[in-house]
Structure 1
Amino acid sequence: AELGYHGPDAAGRVLRSGRANAFGVVFADRLSYVFTDPFAIGLLAAFTEVLEDAGVGVFLAPVPAGPGGHPADAAAIGTAVVDGVVGLCAGPGHPGIVAAARRQLPVVLTDTAAEHDYVSIDDRAAGRTVGEHLAGLGHRVVGLVCEIPGGDGTRVLGRDELPAQVEAYRALGWDDAANRIEGIAESLADLQLLTVTAGRNTREDGRRCAATLLDRDPRPTAVVAVSDVLALGVLEEVRSRGLVPGQDVSVTGFDGIPEARAAGLTTLVQPIAEKGRWAARLLLDPSLQPRQVVLPTELRVGTTTGPAPGSR
């Protein structure tokens, strides 16, 4: 072997073949967080499994939204040696997706977007399903726990402040969360809806938001969280006060992660692994149809929801 030779030049191989044989994954959060989020882990595992079987590599590109982001994060997408990009919870307006589109790279999103290929769910309809479940149980004062950078879990927002909150989500490229919240609000249009925002999608933040809601007098008889992780934190706070989920306070989540089933959480289940597999197939095969895929969801009723106290 020639002294100092370390194999074929990667850049030269790309120039000759026209392909990098790798796809980028744009995350709307820090990579350290992604590896702790059950939803992201499940989707990424399924996505990479399909690519591995096809002999294709993965380039991980965290581009955090909000205060945690930095222009250099999005700029990395502008120079990454990849054949295409999937946006994990990153909508069409997210800086990383905008950078990929500017390069005319193939883009697949896990949110709906008219201008891109995507595999998603109908988040608005899913949100309505959750809200209708609670309304049908007689709940009239409902707490909503959601996440946004800068949220501290202590301030309660009224319904009139919700549109601005939704627009803030869209500005971050979090269209799935925005649609989900709009669906919940629509289904609870005749009820009192109290929103508290968490700064992170963690159990601790969910518990802090729940404490703010449960300290109110009268307190909400139901709390809907926009993720199972937040909902599990809500459950911890409910139980710490000697309250029984599904009897004293109903709690719902969203996603259908394994921990939610173990906790008996009522949740809106989305096909997380199938999302990841579809995203990989769409990137691997440009001829695959359809290019915009909407997967079904299911409300799984557990032990954490029941009739509102006083309506039994």
Structure 2
Amino acid sequence: MSARPTLATIAEAVGVSRMTVSNAFNRPDQLSPELRERVLATARQLGYAGPDPGARALSRGRTGTVGVIIDAPLTLAFSDPAAVQMLHGVASVCELEKLGMSLVPRIAGTDAELVKTALVDGFVVYCVGDDDPRLDAVRARHLPYAMIDYEPGKAERTVNVDDREGARRTAQHLVDLGHRRFGIVLGWENPATSVADALASMQYHVDRERLAGWSEAMQAAGVPFGSVPLASAPGFDRAAGRVAGGKLLDRADRPTAIVCISDLMALGVLEAAAERGVAVPQQLSVAGFDDIPAAARAGLTTVRQPHQEKGAAALRLLLDTTTPQASVLLPTELVPRSSTAPSP
């Protein structure tokens, strides 16, 4: 098999210097149109596709690409409605700034390596846990980065929504409807059986804030939050919500209201209720968080958050070289729908 053609190979074939060939690809204004076309034609004949993009990026000190680190497999970036909208926000700013976007997913065993080798100018980091090994890899790159859904003060640039207030309003809405027997649905198979244990083991800022918001409203109404039952299941989708919801609905002291960490989980709880013949909202109220499109179709009471603006705001912070430290807190909005009603 013949060796891969190089700049030197082309230079010899054309009878020019290696620098002249390089200029034909990288600085065309340095050559006459005729000479440049002769170099490019020879390159095509020899099967040379052009300079290596990684080497070109290193020589320029800039790639023109932003990395987006997500805390899930790559398929979730295209299937989870909240993630899709966040990425849309990042992409909208990329288009304005003429930048590319590279996704860096979670892949067991190679998480940090993907960060170390990513050809990017900076990172937007979306909803990762406190102990995520990729954070050390990001910091070791000495590139700018902005965190979404991460505790303010623990990074120079953070973008969050008011998760605590959104959750508090949800619980207050249910309290005002007369509910006092609650259940909580979490994701990712949280082994905790009590609120205290859940808080101690939670690695995600978003989870802690939502749990704290529910706690504020329930405890103010005299509900002993420490005894509110928790349920979870592997994953963070409808199937996980159906399993976790089933655990709560199969209890002898079945809740009259269930608050869920996300809309996808809440939609699964609605399915679990339907399977058991539990009428929503007559016998059970269910509330989610996110206001994904499917929530409106299902009549799900939820908390609306600006997913697209989270992504856009994070990239704007990343690109703003005049403000090295900034924390953005976006508002949330309670959206009552038909899945909640007065306590039976």
Q: CA deviation at 1:122?
A: 2.0
What's 1:187 paired with? Answer: 217
SS in 2 for 1:255: coil
Opposite residue 164 of structure 1, the aligned amino acid is D
Render the CA deviation track for 1:134-188: whole Å, top value 9, x for unaligned. Answer: 222221111100112x45xxx8x54xx3233223222xxx211222122222322
Distance 1:140 1:89 in 2: 31
SS in 2 for 1:8: coil
Asked whether the equivalents of residues 144 and 193 of structure 1 are also in contact (C-alpha less than 8 Å), the reply is: yes
Q: 1:108 aligns with which of 143, 146, 150?
A: 146
Render the CA deviation track for 1:26-47: whole Å, top value 9, x for unaligned. Answer: 1111112332211111111221
Specify which structure has the higher proportion of helix.
2
Larger RCO: 1 or 2 (CA < 8 Å, sep 6+): 1
Gaps of 5+ in 2: 1-39
Distance 2:278 2:186 in 1: 22
Alignment of 1:13-24 (within 5 A): 13-24=56-67
What's 2:162 paired with? Answer: 122
What's 2:201 paired with? Answer: 168
Specify which structure has the higher proportion of strand.
1
Asked whether the equivalents of residues 84 and 107 of structure 1 are also in contact (C-alpha less than 8 Å), the reply is: yes
What's 1:41 paired with? Answer: 84
Asked whether the equivalents of residues 141 and 220 of structure 1 are also in contact (C-alpha less than 8 Å), the reply is: yes
Stretch of structure 1 that moved more, 76-85 or 234-243: 234-243
Q: CA deviation at 1:63?
A: 2.4
Render the CA deviation track for 1:41-91: whole Å, top value 9, x for unaligned. Answer: 111122112213322111211126xxxx32x21222122121111111125
SS in 1 for 2:182: strand
What is the number of residues matched between the two proteins? 294
Change (3 A) 1:185 1:284: same
Change (3 A) 1:29 1:215: same
What's 2:69 paired with? Answer: 26
What's 1:81 paired with? Answer: 119
Opposite residue 185 of structure 1, the aligned amino acid is S
Q: CA deviation at 1:133?
A: 1.6
Normalising by structure 2, we get a TM-score of 0.80
Distance 2:87 2:197 in 1: 31
Render the CA deviation track for 1:215-258: whole Å, top value 9, x for unaligned. Answer: 11221000111100000111112123333212210000000101
Asked if 1:50 is matched to 2:93, the reply is yes
SS in 2 for 1:5: coil
Asked whether the equivalents of residues 157 and 324 of structure 2 are also in contact (C-alpha less than 8 Å), the reply is: no
Distance 2:75 2:87 in 1: 14
Asked whether the equivalents of residues 301 and 337 of structure 2 are also in contact (C-alpha less than 8 Å), the reply is: yes
SS in 1 for 2:228: strand
Asked whether the equivalents of residues 31 and 62 of structure 1 are also in contact (C-alpha less than 8 Å), the reply is: yes
Asked if 1:268 is matched to 2:303, the reply is yes
Change (3 A) 1:290 1:305: farther
Stretch of structure 1 that moved more, 34-43 or 254-263: 34-43
Distance 1:194 1:48 in 2: 40
What's 2:132 paired with? Answer: 94
Distance 2:210 2:140 in 1: 28
What's 2:25 paired with? Answer: none
Distance 2:157 2:126 in 1: 13
Render the CA deviation track for 1:260-307: whole Å, top value 9, x for unaligned. Answer: 011111001101111111122222332369821111100000011111
The alignment-based identity, stated in percent, is: 38
Asked whether the equivalents of residues 63 and 96 of structure 1 are also in contact (C-alpha less than 8 Å), the reply is: no
Q: CA RMSD in A?
A: 2.0
Stretch of structure 1 that moved more, 23-32 or 13-22: 13-22
Asked whether the equivalents of residues 26 and 97 of structure 1 are also in contact (C-alpha less than 8 Å), the reply is: no
Higher-Rg structure is 2
What's 2:17 paired with? Answer: none
Normalising by structure 1, we get a TM-score of 0.88
What's 1:242 paired with? Answer: 277
Change (3 A) 1:208 1:187: same
Distance 1:198 1:185 in 2: 22
What's 1:145 paired with? Answer: 185
Asked whether the equivalents of residues 165 and 332 of structure 2 are also in contact (C-alpha less than 8 Å), the reply is: no
Asked whether the equivalents of residues 183 and 257 of structure 2 are also in contact (C-alpha less than 8 Å), the reply is: yes
SS in 2 for 1:188: helix
Asked if 1:227 is matched to 2:270, the reply is no
Asked whether the equivalents of residues 122 and 143 of structure 2 are also in contact (C-alpha less than 8 Å), the reply is: yes
SS in 1 for 2:315: helix
Stretch of structure 1 that moved more, 129-138 or 285-294: 285-294
Distance 1:63 1:96 in 2: 9
